[in-house]
Structure 1
Amino acid sequence: MVSSGVALGLTVLTLAVFTALGVWYSRGQVQSVEDLITARNSAGRGQMTATLVASVMGVWILFAAPEAGASFGIAAVVGYAIGEAAPMLAYAKIGPRLRSVVPEGHSLTEYAHARYGDAMYAFVIVVSMLYMFVFLAAELTGIAGALSLVAGVPQWQTAVLVGGFVLLYTGYGGLRASIFTDTVQALLVLPLLVVAFAGAIFALGGAGSVHESIVSANPSLLDPGFTAGLQFGLALSFAILGAELINQTWWQRIYAGRDSETVRSGFRSAAVTNGLIVFLGALFGIVAVGQTEIVTALGAEYNADIAFFLLLQSAFPEWIVLAVVLLALLLVMSSVDTLFNALSSVVTADLLRLLSDPDDRTLKLGARALTVVVAVAAIYVSLRAQSVLRLFFFADLLGAAVAFPLVYGLYSRRLTGTGALVSSVVGLAFGLAYFPDFRGVITGLPLVGDLLPAADPLYLTSFGGAFLVSTGLALLAARLSSTEHDLDDLSRNIRSLDRTATDGGTASGEDVAPAEVRE
């Protein structure tokens, strides 16, 4: 095993270098709270694609994706890849529409409030922030587990170091620092991932030898018609699509793009790249099954979430394994800084409704203080989590239930706040009824437990049901509604934080030109 002191030293060095880069790049560029949380119209096509790729290249690519592949095979690998590409394609359409309807927006929650009112807003902010928080905790759980496996570094040390260093440059430079470091990380990580996969196949004797090993260990993993794999893969497609549509990370970057065409092309490019990356990552899990003992049932011996690193340990010297862990560290940084910014931007945009005439300095302090609170809480949760994939699953269920009713309001004038909320809540209730995780808690509810159907261990009924039920109810609610919402009100009610603070904390009500006109 690599010395924990060496591993810890290299970890600190890597974190320090990227922290310095983030602080250096953002010096003098954060003059207002708008600069801190939106970096509005600042990212060109190259940066836009790079930040969309790096932000999704979290450590879950080396943990959750291989875990899915090791457990359910090639069908789950394909489902994971499609699930990750689908929301990027959706945002290629949603992004320009959002910039047109809400040209000076910042967050999905302020849109939810302006479009649907207080009740739906409260539900969306809880769901969205809980999703991003769980995502953040899962990232820290993954990298802490990797360093513990490879070098025996205590998990709390890794979690504190990663959270602390990333907090330094995101708290200082905000989204601008995040986009810049994302770009550097994408340029480094993408080729290294390909080299790591090709090197592993070569070290294991080539594709033929790897294939024989998998067939010998569990041939069903390579069967595209494997029923369990197909169901699980389809479940992942629903889960990831729904979850990513309530992820403030992407709503924030829609406004950071230079113009609508930049946003459209950036998300399209990211769809292809992210799908291929996830496909590659999930394949690692299948390959690992043929080379080492992978335990896929949760329990004391469970290790499917570290299948990728178990594979590397069986094929490479320790120093190469450590190098890959440092690669994973870059993946974590790219996602953690993104999530810090996303979470702080949600609350900062909403502070205008909670505080009386806040000035720009107050809003910036609020954004930075919240980032600190989130970091500390996520570190705490990460030290008690077991499966990265299971953490994501709970977060994904929330998104699957809320996503369509939330986004549909950008297109439908007739969907009301009540209709959107009821659709989301019923969809979530349906998904929870079949959700296998936390089953003991759910069945223990008075008057509810005895009525629940059997849980779906492959999650398809849960994720697919939550998404389709909420979608169907939202469409029905819009069809039956007799009222219409004036979408032009969104551009009048959601204003730049700079201009709103200058106006005294409230929107002035004057018309704002659509994004395409202003650009």
Structure 2
Amino acid sequence: MATDNEEFNVPVSDAWGVLLGILGFFAVMTVVSVFLKGDLRAILRPTDTFLSARSSASWYSIGLSYFASGMGAWIVYGTTEMGATRSLSWWGVIGYSTASSFPAMLLMFLGPKIKKRVGADAGYTATDFALARYGRLMHLHVVCISCFYMYIYMVAEFTSLSNVYATVTGKSIAGNDSKDYTTNIAVALAIMTWSYTALAGLPASIFTDKFQGVVIAAVVTMLLVATTSLKRNELSRDEFDDATGWFSKGFEALVTLYIAIASAELFNQGTWQRVWAAKSDFDMRAGFALGALFVTLVMMFFGVMGMIAYANDRDAYDSFQKLAYLSFFDLLLPLPRFWHFVTLALLTTLAASSVDTLQNGLSSVLSHDLIRHKLSANWSRIVVVVFNIAAVIQAADRFEVVPLFLVADLVCATSVGPLFAGLLDKDVDVFGIFTIPAPTELGAFAGCLAGLATVIVNGEINDVNKAVNPYTGKVYEKGFLAYFWLTNTKSNGEPYDCSLCGVKTMVTFIVVPLVSTTACFVFSKLDIYLGGDKAREPFLIVPRLDDGDTRLVTARPVVLDVYDADPKQKDKDDDDDEQPKADREVLVGDP
């Protein structure tokens, strides 16, 4: 392993060359593709294709795009922390790796249903489903949750890549002496990725993702050979087995990760855009399956790297002289400088592929209303600029990446159940005992609020009124919102081994979506009881935006008996109930 007097010393000028070279290459590729297509008018007045790349991507394009956009620079900190924390070890690494690809499995099932409900030639993202199924109130709520998650993800990407460049150039990421440098790295990433996504929109992101996916796979393979073939990183089987294992804390983290990542990624509108971009349902499903496989393999690679680093220097990690989330750099440091440049190129590619997807996702949240009311889609470009500026400013504070994600994951967990409960648009009679109502808009929104309240109640139960990093002492939040940071501690006040560890965190992620989903149906039942069929209409109508959209909600008071129903007949009825294409276009605003 690296000795104490070794440190990274890549020249700053060379690091800038790698950053600008990689980002510039993707920008040039986009410009060339735009000119080759010849539709230059779309640059000034973006079309539907700019926002959706509708029905244009084959399965391998979707697969590489999901893989490249789902893997950000944060992965050098994620599963490596699991691997370099013995109490998590295999369960933690497998949990993080498979949980990161789990949303793709959900989208294979949910994607065609949501796309059919909104309209294959009318929608853009899941926010359009919220509008078409519920109405404006839930639409605005889902837009806010989605923007919050994508914003936090963007902050994490800017922070991660900036810290990597600071580390590899020998700068400290703990003090303020490198703050200007890391901020400039974030600014460069924001500007360069925005330049080509603003130029060509979602097609540019999918186009560059194909190249980025191949680069990521190739470089990860090279790093695998380089790090494991280095003599000082060699381990015996006994040494490796003694440093790893299958422990209950790791399984707790696995459960937490599955719920947390699935909840959050279902609000990532950049991923949902790929549902509409796929040529067919087959292309979408096959693409997501391929992307999920690649995501799992890459995450496993970094997790195993963390295990090797820990096994080589257990005492240093156990005493916190070395930090688990930086374990990959412990393996990277002894390699020749060439590999440091390769790593910078890899992580720059990872960050660019994630950020350009997030930028397109953010631009999509206004797409429905802009296109439907014949307003310029350039407003979506301005929205992305505002989010980029805010994310760069936030990244300058250099929050730890995993706690940032936990905040966003928990916020998303409060609303994921009520949103997708909207797939039920008929009342269900359960064996003649009681009826499960098709959720109403007010009921769904109340369920989301119940989820938020559940987090606050958990904080009171666990006596958490201040969120403090147990290692650095940094205060994240004070008051009733502090529990969203999930900085739980053991009963004796000591910190857990990692941000994701502990039964309290696992229980919170189990309870919150269960309560919010149950509350959604309970409040919907109450809403219908008090308001009758009127409750099934949109709760909030925005003048001019929603004129003529009073039929958005189709939560019909038709009762389906789950005991007597013939599944084949049910499928036929669903097809019969589906509105004609012309009606769907009116409802969701096909451009």
Q: Deviations over 1:202-231 (max 9, x none)?
A: 21567643761673xxx3xx221x122211
Aligned length: 484
Counterparts of 1:201 and 1:453, CA distance in 2: 35
For 1:410 and 1:287, how far apart are their aligned partners in 2? Answer: 45
1:460 offset after TM fit, Å? 0.8
1:166–1:333 Cα contact (<8 Å) kept: yes
Q: Given the alignment of the two structures, is residue 192 of structure 1 paired with residue 219 of structure 2, yes or no?
A: yes
Deviation, structure 1 residue 2:
1.3
* Structure number with bigger Rg: 2
The answer for the alignment partner of 1:92 in structure 2 is 108
Alignment match of 1:230 (pick from 225, 244, 251): 251
Encode CA deviations 1:47-82: one digit per residue, 9 max, x unaligned.
Answer: 111111111111122222222333332211111122
Q: 2:69 aligns with which of 55, 64, 70?
A: 55
Asked whether the equivalents of residues 434 and 454 of structure 1 are also in contact (C-alpha less than 8 Å), the reply is no
The one-letter amino acid of 2:255's match is L
- What do residues 128-184 of structure 1 show as CA deviations (whole Å, max 9, x unaligned)? 101000001101111110110011472112111111111110110110110010000
Q: Residue in 1 aligned with 2:308?
A: 287
Measured in 1, the distance between the counterparts of 2:480 and 2:343 equals 45
Cα distance change on mapping 1:327 and 1:305 into 2, 3 Å: same
SS of the residue corresponding to residue 290 of structure 1 reads: helix
Relative distance call for 1:94 and 1:158 in structure 2 (3 A) is same
Letter in 2 for 1:253: R
Alignment of 1:182-261 (within 5 A): 182-204=209-231, 208-209=235-236, 212=239, 215=242, 219=243, 222-224=244-246, 226-261=247-282
Instruction: Measure, in 1, the Cα distance between the counterparts of 2:81 and 2:277.
Output: 33
Do structure 1's residue 383 and structure 2's residue 396 form an aligned pair?
yes
Deviation by residue 1:301-351 (Cα, 9 ceiling, x = unmatched):
8843332223211x4123212211211110001000000010011133344
Larger deviation, residues 20-29 vs 319-328: 20-29
* In structure 1, C-alpha distance between the alignment counterparts of 2:515 and 2:310, rounded to whole Å: 36
> What is the Cα deviation at residue 295 of structure 1?
8.1
TM-score for both structures, normalised by structure 2: 0.74
Alpha-carbon separation, structure 2, partners of 1:513 and 1:119: 21
Matched, 1:81 2:97: yes
The gaps in structure 1 that reach 5 residues or longer are 495-507, 515-519
Q: CA deviation at 1:117?
A: 2.6
Asked if the contact 1:65/1:285 (under 8 Å) is kept, the reply is yes
- 1:36-435 matches, cutoff 5 A: 36-71=50-85, 72-103=88-119, 104-152=122-170, 154-204=181-231, 208-209=235-236, 212=239, 215=242, 219=243, 222-224=244-246, 226-291=247-312, 303-313=323-333, 315-351=334-370, 357-359=373-375, 362-363=376-377, 365-413=378-426, 414-434=438-458
Stretch moving more, 376-385 or 23-32: 23-32
Residue type of the alignment partner of 2:167:
L
* Shift, 1:277, TM fit: 2.2
Assess, with a 3 A threshold, how the Cα gap between structure 1 residues 276 and 369 changes in structure 2: closer, same or farther.
same
Q: Secondary structure at the match of 1:511?
A: helix
* SS of match in other structure, 1:81: helix
Please say if residues 83 and 303 of structure 2, whose CA atoms lie closer than 8 Å, have aligned partners that are also in contact. Answer: yes
2:544 is aligned to none
Q: Which ranges of structure 2 fall in alignment gaps of 5 or more residues? A: 1-8, 172-180, 427-437, 469-475, 491-500, 539-547, 554-579, 587-591
The whole-number CA distance in structure 2 between the counterparts of 1:253 and 1:164 is 23
Structure 1 segment 504-519 matched on structure 2, within 5 A: 510-512=582-584
Letter matched to residue 447 of structure 2: S
Hey, what's the Cα distance between the residues in 2 that align with 1:283 and 1:491?
A: 54
Deviation at 1:486, TM superposition (A): 9.3
Distance 2:189 2:220 in 1: 21
1:281 shift after superposition:
2.2
Letter of the aligned partner of 1:348 in structure 2? S
Q: Tell whether 2:50 aligns with 1:24.
A: no
RMSD: 3.5
Taking a change above 3 Å as real, the CA distance of residues 83 and 473 of structure 1, as seen in their structure-2 partners, is: farther
Alignment of 1:6-25 (within 5 A): 6-25=14-33
Question: TM-score when scaled to structure 1?
Answer: 0.84
Moved more, 125-134 or 381-390: 381-390
Q: Percent identity?
A: 28
Amino acid at match of 1:444: G
User: Whose helix fraction is larger, Structure 1's or Structure 2's?
Assistant: 1
| Higher mean C-alpha deviation, range 64-73 or range 180-189 | 64-73
Which amino acid in structure 2 is aligned with residue 5 of structure 1? S
Give a deviation string over 1:477-507, Cα, whole Å, max 9, x none: 56775659699x999859xxxxxxxxxxxxx
Distance 2:314 2:168 in 1: 17
Secondary structure, counterpart of 2:450 in structure 1: helix
Distance 2:307 2:449 in 1: 36
Q: Deviations over 1:254-295 (max 9, x none)?
A: 111112221122122222222222222222222222345898
Q: Is the 8 A contact 2:183 2:396 kept in 1?
A: yes
Deviates more, 1:459-468 or 1:173-182: 459-468
Q: Residues 68 and 353 of structure 2 are in contact (CA less than 8 Å); yes or no, is this contact kept in structure 1?
A: yes
Aligned-partner Cα distance in 1 for 2:241–2:389:
41
Q: In 1, are the aligned partners of 2:50 and 2:202 still within 8 Å (CA)?
A: yes
SS in 1 for 2:211: helix
Going from structure 1 to structure 2, the CA distance change for 1:266 and 1:432 (only over 3 Å counts) comes to farther
What displacement does 1:298 show?
A: 13
